[in-house]
Copies of this chain bind each other. A is one copy, B any other.
């Protein structure tokens, strides 16, 4: 039987409310107590190994110091960066974090995760890297809990998000290669049907168009942002003789392309230039080091959490992107060929 404030009150010879006020430690309430009462209570609490009962507190106060995070079933490698940002801010405000996993595709698992989170009286919900089905989005809205999506921009205005501008990412990656003299550029490994994939592809196409380069459907090889997709993509790219550069959907995809290219005896970047997307720690670790469009993942976590805690009106925003230079892109002299 765990000790309660009643136990402490009985032993100390005071009322439970006294114990409650002292232990809850609110300056305004407990300031008036005699120092000896305070220290006595604290001592007894310690001796009896007293722990607060959060359920009881949350029940009576109807608020909690908990933030809910919903993650995709297979967290991407940058999810950790976002979570680090969330955790940083949360711990600064003495706020706990609970995590539930939702399948990306399975509507049922999504709902499960939403229920899990919304049944606990959380102060807010952070949804990482997922897009909800219409039904589930409706469920979220009806939950009456503040929420914000991270890393995936949402089309509907009442689903606030903090993310990169994925069109810009696609554009900037492609443009970077064009500026280095490339005109035969593939776009591989992205999950094209997804919002993110669609936007990045749009950016890619726009960059081509702005430089009078024809779009070729066979230069677009879809995937799921994975290392293996990079491997597969490279197998197909090999059959495209004029190709000189690749926009990879993620750093992982880029790593796959690079490694497979090496197996096929293509030299990076002289035979083939690669640019990644994400700018994760992986860029430095692979060889050659990867040039990549870097996203501000940590910042997404920080800003999202701050908004939720501040309880102000939640608004969507984009976090900055920048080009992180590695050694995977070569300058190409157009005149030479």
> Which segment, of A162-170, A176-184, A277-285, faces chain B?
A277-285
Question: Are A56 and B59 touching (Cβ within 8 A)?
Answer: yes
CA of A143 to CA of B53, assembled, Å: 12
* Interface pair A227/B284, CB less than 8 Å apart: yes
CA distance A281 to B252 in the complex (A): 11
- A91 in contact (CB, < 8 A): yes
Q: A49-B142, A99-B99 are in contact. Are A120 and B55 (CB under 8 A)?
A: yes
Nearest neighbor of A91 in chain B, beta-carbon distance: B101
A33 within 8 A of B: no
Q: Which residues of B contact A51 (CB under 8 A)?
A: 115, 118-119, 143
Q: Which of A26-82 contact B (CB under 8 A)?
A: 49, 51-56, 58-59, 64, 66, 75, 80
Alpha-carbon gap, A227 to B118, bound state (A): 39
With a CB–CB cut-off of 8 A, which chain B residues contact A281?
A: 227
Q: How far is the CA of A87 from the CA of B69 in the complex (A)?
A: 14
Query: What is the total number of residues of chain A having a CB less than 8 Å from a CB of chain B?
Result: 43
What is the bound-complex CA distance between A168 and B280, given in angstroms?
33
Q: Give the interface centre of A59, A118, A259 by most chain B CB atoms within 10 Å.
A: A59
How many copies, total? 2
Cβ-closest chain B residue relative to A57 = B55
On whether the beta carbons of B144 and A2 are closer than 8 Å, the reply is yes
CB distance from A54 to the nearest CB of B (A): 5
Task: Bits for A104-136, please: 1 = Cβ < 8 Å to B, else 0.
Answer: 000000001001101111000000000000000
- A window 266-297: CB within 8 A of B: 281-282, 284-287
Complex contacts, A80 vs chain B, CB 8 Å: 75, 80
Cβ of A262 < 8 Å from any Cβ of B?
A: yes
Question: Which residues of chain A from 220 to 264 have a CB within 8 Å of any chain B CB?
Answer: 227, 252, 255, 259, 262
Interface pair A116/B101, CB less than 8 Å apart: no
Q: How far is the CA of A169 from the CA of B115 in the complex (A)?
A: 42
Residues of chain B contacted by A53 (CB below 8 angstroms):
59, 119, 121
8 contacts between A and B (CB under 8 A): A2-B144, A51-B119, A53-B119, A54-B120, A55-B120, A252-B285, A282-B285, A286-B286
Beyond A51-B115, A96-B116, A262-B287, list 10 extra A-B contacts (CB 8 Å): A49-B142, A51-B118, A52-B119, A54-B55, A55-B59, A55-B120, A97-B99, A227-B281, A255-B285, A286-B286
